[in-house]
Amino acid sequence: MLSSSLVGSLTPGYGAYTAFKAAVETLVKILAKELKGTGITANCVAPGPIATEMFFDGRTEEMVKKAIEQCPHGRLGETKDVAPVVGFLATDASEWINGQVIRVNGGYV
Instruction: Report the catalytic residues.
Output: 17
CB contact at 8 A, 47 and 5: yes
Q: Are 3 and 21 in contact (CB under 8 A)?
A: yes
How far apart, in whole angstroms, are the C-alpha atoms of residue 105 and residue 109?
7
Q: Cα Rg for the chain, rounded, in angstroms?
A: 15
Query: What φ, ψ does residue 97 adopt, rounded to 5°?
Result: -100, 115
In 3D space, the residue among 42, 48, 49 whose CA is nearest the CA of residue 25 turns out to be 42
